[in-house]
Amino acid sequence: MRWYTRRRSRTVCLSLVVASLSLHLLLTVLSRSVYQNHCDAPSPRQTHLHTLRALVDTNYTSRMSDNHASYAKTPPGTRKVNSSHMDSNGPQKMSEKDAVTTKMAVKVGHGHKAEGPVDSLTMTERVGKFGSMGIKPMGSGMSKLEALFSHPLYNMPTPPIHEDDWLLKVKPKGKARETSTQMWVSDSDIGDDSAHWNRSSDSHPPWLRFHLGISRWQLYPHLDPNMAPLAQQLSTHRIVSAVQKSGGTQLKLVMSFPNYGQAILKPMKQERDEETNFNLYYFSDFERHNAEIAAFHLDRVLGYRRIPPAVGRLVDVVTEIKDITTDHKLARTFFTSPVNNVCFYGQCSYYCSTEHAVCGRPQNLEASLAMMLPDTSLATRRSWRSPWKRSYSRSKLAVWEKDPDYCDTVKKTPPYNKGTRLVDLIDMTILDFLMGNMDRHHYETFDKFGNNTFLLHLDNGRAFGRHSTDEPSILTPLEQCCRIRRSTLLHLRLLSLPQYRLSDVMRDSLSHDPLFSVAPLLSELHLSALDRRLVTVLQTVSRCQERQRSRHGEGDDDVIYDDVTDYETLVKHVTPAG
């Protein structure tokens, strides 16, 4: 009986094993058949064609206004933060590098810790990715920023640049004798970083290629291959000199490199998630290092390219400033804080005192380094007072704040009465509103190009001060003049679409900055504010168009400055045959 029971149990176990193996084999066959039936990704032409037609549609604003309004009303804390990597089939996916990113405490000084993402990329690798944005085929894990920059709207054919449209040029051989490369060797220690270059553009350092690439229409071209080596220089190259920059209201330093390049340094004054004190007037606000960096990225995302490249860097206060400075006034302001952090404060109109000193942690200091423009002895610049300059008074209002028809006067005043100067200023207004910059009292242009050129968007340190509130008065030029470039409007509409959302592409773009390894340059609240303010700009343009139609019937010629007359031709060009 016992033998019979043992035999029967063996039979049952063998049957279970056979059944299990059969089921496993069946599941394997089914899963292979499912994985082999992949979905075909839409071609880039079809994807861009759909977007182009949506942007050209004259009813775009009215059809999308409900979506904009619902998004604007959503509390920032409830909005889902998308990764900036977009799969061609639709779902958002994180890359492998993002998946392994971890958050850890970073020691920044005696008694100080800062929470921030530290990813697997070294600083050199990160700056190597900066600016290049190599465009990958659709369906290969393209990020939203790469998808944006590969969009036809950012790659429209441009007219050739004539010789007189370049700001600087190398003298031909007939006008200057060939200079030996040894004459360009830096006066600093001979060795690494020495400058060996001649008339050939291949030998030029990144800062010189940047200067020689400035044209009548922009500071640098779209997808400029020089951006990566330029960012590399700003963030990693040896600093040989540091002196305080004269003028201005707050502390700024001029940093020099062995290859004769120079950059403007603005030190960290405020934590990223800290808002400007509401009791401070706009002219008393701090200048923020991350605002300079974020402004450069936003300017590039909008397609302007009118802000000099700015990169974040961890600067050693002792070895890269104190020990090498020849500025005796600056050197006298260094001291050691009670917690052994090295500090200095310089000399300036605001916040240059021991109470507002800039301190390393204990020696490392976050800062922005912005590429300097060509010296004024080579390329003079003209400073223009903004017609919408604020009063910079605690009690008085400017004329434009009291007169709703103020723009009618501006339109009759040179240089705003002809050419593109007025819409150029509106472009700058939109940029300032998106980043909350109330400190735009002047702007500059290159003298060589007269009035037919772009505006330089300089000094953006007081931007990104508040994310919880918007300042509608910054948009007054657009509200009063009701004039905007068609290309600008199309860019804004594109950035309002989910697949190119402004906050997502800005998050992606800023992630390539070296300081991202310490902490994101903009908090999520500031990124959400960008989307909210973009809705406000589009709604303002919509009101202008409705006002125009109510006065003159159909058409918006008085609102839209048409600088993309071949846009519909471009749409036909990308339409698939048949």
Q: Dihedral, CA atoms, 528, 534, 540, 545, nearest 10 degrees?
A: -140
Q: To the nearest whole number, what is the mean pLDDT of the chain?
A: 78
pTM, entire model: 0.77
Pick out the residues of the known binding site for Mn(2+).
287, 459
Residue 118 has pLDDT above 60, yes or no: no
Burial class (CB in 10 A: 0-12, 13-18, 19+), 440: buried
Residue 284's Cβ-count burial label (10 Å; 0-12, 13-18, 19+) is middle
Binding-site sequence positions: 250, 266, 287, 370-373, 444, 459
* 484-532 residue pLDDT tens: 999 999 999 999 999 999 999 999 999 999 999 999 999 999 999 999 9
pLDDT digits (tens, 9 = 90+) for 354-369: 988 999 999 999 999 9
pLDDT at 179 over 80: no
Residues that are catalytic:
439
| Interacting residues of 562 by C-beta distance below 8 A, sequence separation 6+ | 486
Query: What whole-number distance in Å separates Cα of residue 483 and Cα of residue 427?
Result: 10
β-pairing, 381-385 with 364-371? unpaired
DSSP string, 378-431: TS-EEEEE-TT-----SS---HHHH-TTHHHHHHTSTTTTSTTHHHHHHHHHHH
Burial track 480-499 (b if 16+ CB lie within 10 A, e otherwise)? bbbbbbbbbbbbbbbbbeeb
Q: Which range in 94-108, 235-249, 268-282 is most confidently predicted, on average pLDDT?
A: 235-249
User: Residue 245: pLDDT band by 50, 70, 90 thresholds?
Assistant: very high
- The region of weakest confidence among 2-11, 144-153, 211-220, 550-559 is 2-11
Among 223, 225, 219, residue whose Cα is nearest residue 206: 225
3-state class of 114 per DSSP? strand
Contacts 24+ apart (CB under 8 A), 416-420: 416/387, 419/451, 419/452, 420/452, 420/485, 420/561, 420/563
Considering only residues 121 and 304, tell me which one the structure prediction assigns the higher pLDDT.
304
Q: Virtual CA dihedral for 23, 27, 30, 32, nearest 10 degrees?
A: -140
Residue 312 and residue 435: Cα distance in Å, rounded? 18
Buried-state track 359-397, b at ≥16 Cβ within 10 A, e below 16: bbbbbbbbbbbbbbbbeeeebeeeebebbbebeeeeeee
**Does pLDDT of 78 surpass 50?**
no
Half-sphere exposure of 114 (CA within 13 A, CB side): 18
